[in-house]
Structure 1
Amino acid sequence: MIEPVLVVDLGTTTTSAILLTADDHRVLKDVTGLDWWPTAVCRAGGRWSVGDAAEARKLEYPFGYRARFKDHMGSGEPLLIDGEPHTPEALAAEVLRELRRAARESFAAGPRRLLITVPAAADEPWREATITAGHLAGFDEVELLTEPAAAAQSVFARVWPRDSHILVYDLGGGTFDVALVRFGDAGPEVVGWAGLPPGSGADQVDLVFAADLKIALDRWLAEHPELFVDEAFRADMLREHARKLKHDLTGSDVATTRVLAMPVHRVNRAMLAEAAEPLLAETVACCRDLLARHAMEPSKLKAVVLAGGGSKMPVVAPYLTEHLGVRPEPAPDGTSAVVEGAARWARGAAGRRISAAPPRGPVVPLRWSAPDGTTSAVLARWLVEPGDCFRAGDVLARIRLDTGALYDMTAPTAGRVTHRHLNERQELFDGDWALTSLRPARHADLGAPAELWRLEGLPATASALSPTGARVALAVRAAPSRTRLLIVDARDGAAIEETEVVGRVHALTWSPDGLNVAFSLSSNDQEVRLLALGGETRTQARTTGAVQDLAFTLDGSRLLAVCGKGTLYDIDLASGQTTETALMRHAASVAVHPSGAFCAVTGESRSTPGAGSLTMVSLSGVPVPDLSHVKSQVRGARFGRDGAGLAYASRGRVTFVDTATWNSRCWDSGLDDVVHAYQGELLAWTAAPDSVRIAGDDAPAGASGLTLPARKVVSLELAPDGRRLLIIHQASAALWRIAPEGLP
């Protein structure tokens, strides 16, 4: 570690921070000298106070005081401070800014990098809000670490027996997280973690005690009508007394408090156990669920380690002993386990630059090294989302060097994004595992099919999946002379946008960047148009016949169209120039080889009426193979993603051609008019009037593959990674999952 890092555990009620430098480890103390700061702010006279300073001013400025804003991170809901709205991340930024100021007093330059912990249950808006808070506080680089992963680090310093499993139980004021740690030959490993929703912390006990106090206080105030206590002030006062009762019960069997001049209120540990029981039951259920996911019984645990301030309640350990069957022990770092563990994790950053063992099975970890001799860069922007498919060579993200130059991070192989392990503006070191993907599906992966969604009442005439597989474009007949162009979300079929055009649409396709949809339009004129997502349509070319199929070159610079009169149109999108080539009597489909060097056009032969034709057309002047021996009626042809294979449908069969040797193999169908799809490893085709079959192009002879129920199929399309299949029926559209999409 070259530069200082501020490590922060931003808790619901308290915050802890450590300043790490190359040779130092300093706990930042509050003004009172404690190792933790109240997570609270107070604004008075235009100035902010943080921590104990805010607590000291809340009685004088009650409307300028605010605590417990962590629970609202990412909600987008403003919180009123002294009558003015402030976002939760802006309030968190005031805490972080004060911590940075305190760190600057310990280290003259002040830290520019922040490592901050978040609950396991934090969703993307919460995480993004946390990053925003860090940037608002003046940090150039913000890194996130889940609280259970940080707390798990607290047990790493201790020597545990080989192959032992430790459960780290982290109960905070407003959150609960649990981590399962295994100690193997390669050292400690966080096997998994889980957490309860925000608000599921020891502060729930405060609410129970405060409710009991309120009953007693209301009864006393009813006997003293001359007294008036503001409702908001009363709630805050009761919460403080309730928290004191809970803390006092840590060291005593009985605790007392007195609110205003009312009689003394008394609680005991039995009442604490009763108040905490619902929360503790939820935490045990969360622990058991985590263990069950990893096929482990509680009896197999070597230890349960307690972390977090809430775990200090004297009723926690006995409850866990009874309901998990393992006697817990305190974490080595006690209530500071999360921040100390996060600091230990940050200290070991250099060790994480070493690549892990090669991946097994379909899981592919992607790592990049910073260019130009640098050792790190900042992730400027992700260009893919979890669930997106990508091809070899696609740009997945961009990084920014210290010089300000941007570099593309490209994919070495095709796949589907499952996890992104870095956030935008986060530092990327050599060898960091930045993204996890699944390789494209193969024959052996087929199984456990499930219909993800179905849209009924849609007489679609054309369809296409976007290059990432995240969206579906549909051309739906609205009236004899009108067509609706629908863009729907591939996750659930929800409509994203809709455009209506005059005429019939027979073909559509996505541009390689996924920003435009090209479609044919037959009305008074025959046209090829381009629809920009969220924008208008524009005409790219006019044709002499109805366009039957469209295809972009991989670089998106050219758009090819074939019409019913057998003409191939080559449209240069930059110049708008169109080249026409008459090829056959009738053209049905066009497919561009990924190299962009040639395309395949299918249809009816010009020289022999009724005979099929599969013609290769050079797009770059290079020689193309001669497939004139194909005489059967060819419905369509598609190249695989890498161009190594070509699949086409003809009467009663589907044929796969190896483009390296031009050898072929066939699969029979029970239909004359076969509909098919091909994406590089998998073929899908209508095998009978009521079914679709999917198999790998390398499937062993006799392999049955996967069969789905489907009637009156109009078209098929496989997702870029082959794990989904879009089926267009005469009056509906359905998306199926045909291979697992999660990590094994």
Structure 2
Amino acid sequence: MAREWLLAVDLGTTWTKAAYTTADSTDPVLVRVPATQLAWFPTAVARSSDGRWLVGDAAQARRTSRPDWCWSEVKRELGQHEPRMLGGHPFGPVEAVTQPLLYAARQARRQAGRGFDRLTLSAPVIFSDEQRAVLVEAGENAGFAPDTITIVDEGAAAARSVLGPRPEDGTWVVADIGGGTFDAALVTADRGVAAVIDQVGDDRAGAHAIDTAIVARLRERYQIDDGDGEAGRRRAGYLRDAARMLREQLAEQRSADVFLPDLLLELTLTPAQLGELVEPVLAPAIEHCAAMLARNDLGWEKINALVLSGGASRDPAVRARLAPLAALRDAANPELAVVLGLTVPAEAPSRTILSLRY
């Protein structure tokens, strides 16, 4: 039987990534955005003045002038039925979330020079059957038949790509901490073969929740009100951007500051303040992990290591909170672990991609 061409799309809360494998090789090829050559683009959509869909960076640019015409982090509203007004017209979540998939598929076809036989999508472990059905529907809208679409839990996908071609025998917790969710897989390895035996997830323990906590702290500290109408929506967008930039600066340096243009304010954040905000965000996810271990007659002391993936796993405040639990190990490419894992066949869960550069 001939091998199939596979397209894998990690539709994240903040960023979407895609990769593919060919009939001749199972080595993944990252799909890159032509304008930036990056292997990811914002999971955001918007409507243009002439009624076209804008995706990724183009949608984010639209938010600057018309925030009410832009829909960021569309994944968070999958499974809801309330439409959103964009450019004076109502659109449901499935129609909006189809656009990043279409964009990724078009870029992949352009890069590969042909179409794909199968589509694999990621989903948080906590997604309901209804939310997964919406993902399948979006995949159909992107041109794939239902029987060619596979959905893989994000924690399991990350585990497929991070533990090595012949993982050391033992027990591991692989945690993917992304923009919107915290997904963890309990993995055992025996004689070089790894298997996922349990999973948990939390949709309030990703970078989005941390940024929300930072925004609340900024509003309180600098007495920033919401504002009204479009001006208020624009300010809310500025504040969320400022929170993300402050958090990302603290991943590289010991202090962070961002200028808020519409209020002429210089906003600051220290590592200690960020640590205070991270603690309550991560606490429920850590409890879920402890419960997962307990129901498998395990504790943190019996874990070889806590393996981290996802963009938020780089944050020092996040790492500091997780370090007391178990020895920490990092995925080779934390931001890409899930999409790379989606390209690994389920029957080969221990394959890894360590040398891929981005």
User: Which has the higher Rg, Structure 1 or Structure 2?
Assistant: 1
Structure 2 counterpart of 1:500: none
Asked if structure 1 preserves the Cα contact closer than 8 Å seen for 2:5 and 2:22, the reply is: yes
CA drift at 1:301: 0.9
For residues 62-100 of structure 1, the C-alpha deviation after alignment (integer angstroms, 9 at most, x for no partner) is 222111111111122222222222121111111111111
Distance in 2 of aligned mates of 1:92 and 1:219: 32
In 1, Cα distance between the equivalents of 2:229 and 2:290? Answer: 48
Instruction: Report Cα offsets for 1:263-299 as digits up to 9, x if no partner.
Output: 3111110011011101221121111011011101111
Q: Secondary structure at the match of 1:101?
A: helix
Please state how far the C-alpha of 1:348 moved relative to its aligned partner.
Answer: 4.4
Determine the structure 1 residue equivalent to 2:178.
172
Selected match of 1:35 from 33, 39, 46: 39
Q: TM-score, normalised by structure 2?
A: 0.89
Map of 1:82-161 to 2, 5 A cutoff?
A: 82-140=87-145, 141-161=148-168
Aligned to 1:328: 328
Contact 1:8 1:15 in 2 (8 A): yes
Three-state SS of the structure 1 residue aligned to 2:16 is: strand
Return the letter of the residue paired with 2:105: R
Q: Is the 8 A contact 1:306 1:329 kept in 2?
A: yes
Aligned partner of residue 188 in structure 1, secondary structure: strand
Q: Give the match for residue 726 of structure 1.
A: none
Residue number in structure 1 paired with 2:187: 181
Distance 1:347 1:80 in 2: 44
Q: Which residue of 2 aligns with 1:25?
A: 28
Q: After alignment, is 126-135 or 311-320 more displaced?
A: 311-320
Aligned counterparts of 2:264 and 2:191: Cα–Cα separation in 1 = 62
- Amino acid aligned to 1:144: I
Greater relative contact order (CA < 8 Å, ≥ 6 in sequence): 2
- Amino acid in structure 1 at the alignment position of 2:344: R
Q: Structure 1 126/219 Cα, relative in aligned 2: closer, same or farther at 3 Å? A: closer
* TM-score, normalised with respect to structure 1: 0.44
| TM-fit CA distance, 1:253 | 1.2
Q: Alpha carbons of 1:139 and 1:88: their partners in 2 closer, same or farther (altered >3 Å)?
A: same
**Matched-pair contact (CA < 8 Å) for 1:93–1:133:** yes
User: Matches of 1:292 and 1:160 in 2, distance apart?
Assistant: 23
Equivalences for 1:189-588 in 2 at 5 Å? 189-196=195-202, 198-215=203-220, 218=223, 230-260=231-261, 261-322=263-324, 324=325, 326-345=326-345, 348=348
Q: 1:100 to 1:296 in 2, by over 3 A?
A: same
Q: Which amino acid aligns with 2:339?
A: V
SS in 1 for 2:28: strand
Q: 1:61 to 1:286 in 2, by over 3 A?
A: same
List aligned pairs for 1:588-599, cutoff 5 A: none
The answer to whether the 8 Å contact 1:178/1:194 transfers is yes
Range with bigger deviation, 46-55 or 206-215: 206-215
| Amino acid in the other structure paired with 2:345 | W
Shift of 1:347: 8.7
Instruction: Note the residue ranges of structure 1 that are not aligned, 5 or more in a row.
Output: 352-744
Q: Give 1:150 deviation, angstroms.
A: 0.3
SS at match of 2:206: coil
CA distance in 2, matches of 1:245, 1:84: 35
Deviations 1:156-187 (A, max 9, x none): 4254333x001101111111110011111371
Alpha carbon RMSD of aligned pairs, Å?
2.3
Give CA deviations for 1:382-403 in whole Å, capped at 9, x if unaligned.
xxxxxxxxxxxxxxxxxxxxxx
Q: Which has the higher helix share?
A: 2
The structure carrying a bigger strand percent of its residues is 1
Contact 2:259-2:266 at 8 Å conserved across structures: yes
CA distance in structure 2 between the partners assigned to 1:192 and 1:303 by the alignment: 16
Same amino acid, percent of matched pairs: 34
Q: Which residue identity does 1:131 align to in structure 2?
A: V
In 2: Cα distance, 1:271 partner to 1:257 partner: 15
Structure 1 Cα separation of the partners of residues 313 and 248 of structure 2: 11
Give the drift of 1:221.
10
Letter in 2 for 1:43: R
Report the more deviating stretch, 184-193 or 172-181: 184-193
Gaps of 5+ in 2: 352-358
